[in-house]
Structure formats: structure tokens, C-alpha cells
Structure 1
Amino acid sequence: MDSALQVDRDTLMALAGAARLLSNPPGQIPPGALAGERVSRQQGRGLNFDSLRRYQPGDDVRLIDWQATARLRTPWIRLYNEERERPVFLIVDQRLDMYFSTRGQTKSVAAAKIAGLLAWRSWHDGDRIGSLVFGDDDLSLQKCRSPASNLHAVLDDVLRYNQALPARYPAEPPATVTLTSVLQRASQLIPSGAWVAVLSDFHDLDAPAEALLAALRRRCEISAFVTLDDLHLRLPSHGDLAARYQGHDAAFSLSPHLQGAIQQSITARLARLENRLTRLGVRVNQIVVAQDLIKQLQKGV
């Protein structure tokens, strides 16, 4: 099997060791951290209810449990303990637009490997993990569960959708699944306080998708892993170039002027995409598929 075009199970399983090289996701509690060493990484209170006890002078009146106080006719307060894990939710794009590269691995393979690395990172950290992996016409959902019970289901979905791409490529059937529809489905299952990783090239990011990301950002941390091929930075100044997209073929001769225009256009588009996501509060990581994924993730995650 050509690992540049699709991943296999052995590849995903072998990522377990490499995942230890990654830092915790944004806001995640480092393993072994002691209470009081850090600011809470939860949005909002970030606490679990623990128990009730009688009110004592000096207690925060905001912690008074009014129902218990009314029932027992003396003031009682609620005690909390801080949550020690954060759910991780992966949204993994495996559509035909991701089945592209000019060297190294395809965008779909890079996204699959990153998903595997983040899934294994959750395993090491003991964080609940869920996922939505999607192709051009269907998707598969996994609710957030313990990594012991859900890791292999997440990896199986990534593997299945990734390996389906080569057979779909020649026909290029029309896509019915959009980033907007995916975010609509995912938002219903993602628990508040989760860290959400979206792995895609974001080619169809539109206003409705931005609105969904903005709503999700109000209750979760979001990181976007924008996969891209860097051909625009490597174009020769002369020569012939052929391209095909969704059944349309084009061929043209390169000139220094055209080379510069292509590079400027794509660079500007990527900058606009990053600005749009950043304005929503999304952390953006641009992933060049031909470069070392681990080193790029170490810089961005």
C-alpha cells in the first residue's frame, strides 16, 4: 500500500509513541500537575459538584444552595472539585478535495495521521474522546467516551474513510456533505468545555459554517488544522502546467508574471482564511503536508 495515498492500520497504531512528543492541547492539564499550580483550564466555573455542607462565616454567598437552605431551614453551600480531564473531539475531513498533493502525502493522509496522533494523545492523558469523520456523502459519529472504550472506534472511522478515497477518485461523484452540515451535526454532541480539533482544508468555509464555529467557540476551545500543499511556493518560472478539478481540465504555460500571480493569490487566500478563523477565536495551525507533521504540531498545538 502506498502510504502517501492512504493510511493503514499499522500506521495509525504506530503513532502511539510519537503522540507522546506532542504537548497537551490548548488549556489541557499537564499530567501530574498539582492543584494550585495553574489557572483552571475550563471555560466558566469548570467544576463538578461534590457535596453540601453547612454555611460558615466567610463562605462565598454565591455558593449557597437555596433549595437545600429552604428545605433544611439553615444555610447550606455547595462544594465543588475541579474537573481533571477535558473531552477531546476530532472533526476529520476525508472528502475528495483532501485527496490531493504534488509531493509527499495527500492532505487526506496528513489529516488522518494528525487525527491518529491527537487520539493517542488523548489516550495517554486519559481524556474522553469523540469524533466525526466525514466523506463526500456520509459521515460517522462517535460520542465522547473514555479512550479505553472509544480510541479504536475513532481510529477505525479514520481508516475506513481514508481508504475509501482511492476508489472514489476516478469517478469524482458530487459531494453532498459540507463543512456547514458537519458542524451542525457535531455541535449537538460536543460537550461544553471540550477541545475541538477540525482537520480540513476548509475549502468550503462559508458564513453559516463561521456562525456555527462562533457558537461552538463560546463553550469550547477550537483548533483548526488547515492542511495545504505548498505547490504555489515551488512553481517554476517557465514550463507547462496541467490541472484537473471536478471534471474540468486546464493546461497553460507558466511565465514569471503568472507564477507570481498564482503565488500571491494562494498566499492571500490562506491569509484570509486564517484571519477569518482567528476572528472567531479559533487557533489556526497551517499544516504543509510534505513537511514533518510532528514538528509542525509541536509548534502549533
Structure 2
Amino acid sequence: MNASVSMNRDGDGQVSVSLAELIALRARVARAPSPPVVSRAARRGQQPSRLHGRGMDYAESRIYQPGDDVRRLDWRLTARSGSLHTKLFQEEREGRLLILLDTNAGMRFGTRVRFKSVQAARAAAVAAWYAVRGGDRVGVLAFGAERHLLRPRGGARGALAALGAIAAWDARADDAGFESLSGALQRAGRLMHGASRVLLISDGFSCDDGARGPLLDLMRRADVAVLTVADAMELAAPPPGRYPLAHEGKHYDVVLHATRQRDDFALALGQGRMKLEALATATGLRQRTIDTVVDPLDATIALLGARGRGP
């Protein structure tokens, strides 16, 4: 699959993804607190642990990345190649983050600032830049209207490939096709490519009763966290008024005046979010919920900067 996307077809950042904006988020992530240094040796059923001391066996060297410990520069390889290289040790082999991104039609909705799909892309970009800053590889699995996998890659090129894929998927996505969360999780379990962490980004409307089993299976193999993206009207009852909505090419005017009418409307719109939050709570996953207005940086980093289960 060609994940590239032309810059002259860049989205507006409101109803379509702006690749330029996703790339620019790198500077924001660079100013955030550094990712924790953790052992990469943990495998199935084991949580990574913080490293203490430097008594580790040398494994390999790779190109220097911003944030690397300058005390571990490989000066011999740097001198031979002309490019800075960092030594990696056995417990520090690159981790792999797989971003599980919801592209179902319901994500292309928003009443404040931007669509949920655009906000999800922004959060995924933050996750990608944060992961590679910590020395991890990053990959993306899209589910829903788009069903594609970009295998985990390292460094800035890996992040750029992920962002290019996300923008390209958004540019050609339509309202056709639906994939349940259970199906997406099963597919992720087959296509993890050694991922040690999984970040699910969704509005929850794909969440079905069959998702719990595949999610528990995924949790046995990786550290999983959930970021729920919601519109303001899915979080609280809207003020009285007339609201123009579009669905499957048809336009409607929804008139909301009575308090109960507005509460029922918000409850109906919030079903997906509440179901996904309940699933995350029941399985002990770390989770955050953001709307389409806020900067996704803090919530995303809070999920990736922590390790182990729990909110």
C-alpha cells in the first residue's frame, strides 16, 4: 500500500485531516515531558519495568533520535558513518506501538471546531511522534470504512509514514462500510507484528457485545489503552434550538426545546462513548475521553506515558 499523500491535497483540519497540521504537532510533542525509559525485555503477560543502572548487554546501534541519552552515543560508528548513532542495550530494544484507529462513518461528525475523525487523527499524530521520540516503532491499523495496516516503523520516517497513511485514508473515506470493534480487535490480534503497546482511538459506536473477549486476548499480549473521542453534543445536553444535521446525504432539522427532549437526544448520541468507557472500566484499562475542541496532547501522553493497567 502506498501511504503517501500529496501536500497540495491537504485537508482543512476541520472536516478533513490536514497532513501539515499532523506534521506540525511534532514540535508540540518535542516540548512535552520525555517518555519514561522502560525495559523492553517484558513479553507476554509481563509489564515493562523502569531501568536502573547501566549494567546491560549491548545489543545494537541505531541512528540518533532527539531525546536519546548522549552518554550512550556510539562514537566509533558515528565516526565511520558521519551520522550520530546511539547504542541500544538488550533491555532497551525498540518497543512497538500499534495505533488502532476508528474510521467508521460515525467518526465523520462534529458540531464544535472539527469532526471526531479529525480529532482522532490529531491524537494519533501525537501518539506517533511521542512513540518515536521514546525510541519506539509506530504502526497504524485502520478499521471501519478503511481497513488497512501500516506496519510499525522507527524514527521520524516511521511517524511520517503513519501520518501520511492516516491523511490518505481520511481523504478517500466515505460512509460505506462498517466494522465492529470485536472484528477490529480480532484483526489487530493477528496483525500486531510484535507490538508491545496498543492505543485504541474511537468514538465507541463500533463497540459491540463481542468485543470483550478479543480485548482481553489482546491485553494478554500487549499494554492496551483507550482514547475516546466525543462531540460536545455526546457529552452534555445541547441548549434549546434548531440543529441542522446531515446523514447519508440527506439533511434534517432537529428542533430541541424541552429539557427532557434535549436530555434524551444527548443520551442517544452518547451511547457509543458510554459503552466504550464501560468496557475499558470493566477490563481495567487506562482510558481518557476528549471532545473535538481540546488539544489532544495531554490526554494522549497521559495514556502512553504511564505503564500497566488502571485509569
| TM score, norm. by length of structure 1 | 0.72
Distance 2:208 2:161 in 1: 30
Counterpart in the other structure of 2:164: 156
Is 2:140 aligned against 1:141? no
CA distance in 2, matches of 1:202, 1:212: 16
Structure 1, unmatched stretches of 5+, are: 52-79
Q: Give the residue type in structure 1 aligned to 2:171.
A: Q
- Say if 2:125 is the partner of 1:116: yes
User: Which of 205, 208, 212 is 1:206 aligned to?
Assistant: 208
Inter-CA distance 23–10: structure 2 relative to 1 (3 Å threshold) = same
CA contact (8 A) 2:126 2:300 kept: no
2:244/2:254 contact within 8 Å kept: yes
Distance 1:148 1:104, change over 3 A: closer
* C-alpha deviation, 1:275, in angstroms: 2.2
Change (3 A) 1:253 1:7: closer
Distance 1:283 1:183 in 2: 17
Aligned pairs for 1:170-189 (under 5 A) are: 172-173=175-176, 175-189=177-191
Q: Pick the structure with greater CA Rg.
A: 1
CA contact under 8 A between 1:100 and 1:106: conserved in structure 2? yes
2:113 aligned with 1:104, yes or no? yes
Q: Counterpart amino acid of 2:127?
A: L
How big is the shift at 1:226? 0.6
CA gap 1:148/1:267 in 2 versus in 1, 3 angstroms:
closer
Aligned pairs for 1:88-99 (under 5 A) are: 88-99=97-108
| Unmatched 5+ stretches in structure 2 | 1-10, 50-55, 59-88, 305-311
Residues in 2 aligned to 1:269 and 1:180: alpha-carbon distance in whole angstroms: 14
Q: What value does the CA root-mean-square deviation take over the aligned residues? A: 3.3
State the AA in 2 paired with 1:285. Answer: R
- What is the Cα deviation at residue 120 of structure 1? 1.0
Q: Secondary structure at the match of 2:179?
A: coil
CA contact (8 A) 1:107 1:228 kept: yes
- Among candidates 276, 285, 304, match of residue 282 of structure 1: 285
* Equivalent AA in structure 1 for residue 22 of structure 2: L
Matched residue, 1:216: 218
Percent identity, please. 24
The whole-number CA distance in structure 1 between the counterparts of 2:245 and 2:47 is 52
Instruction: State whether residues 97 and 152 of structure 2, in contact with CA within 8 Å, keep that contact through their aligned partners in structure 1.
Output: yes
Distance 1:176 1:204, change over 3 A: closer
1:297 aligns with 2:300: yes
**Cα 1:151–1:264 shift into 2, 3 Å:** closer
Shift of 1:241: 3.8
- Offset at residue 110 of structure 1 (A): 0.5
Letter in 2 for 1:9: L
Asked if the contact 1:239/1:255 (under 8 Å) is kept, the reply is no
User: Which residue is 1:190 aligned to?
Assistant: 192
Change over 3 Å in CA distance of 1:2–1:82 after alignment to 2: closer
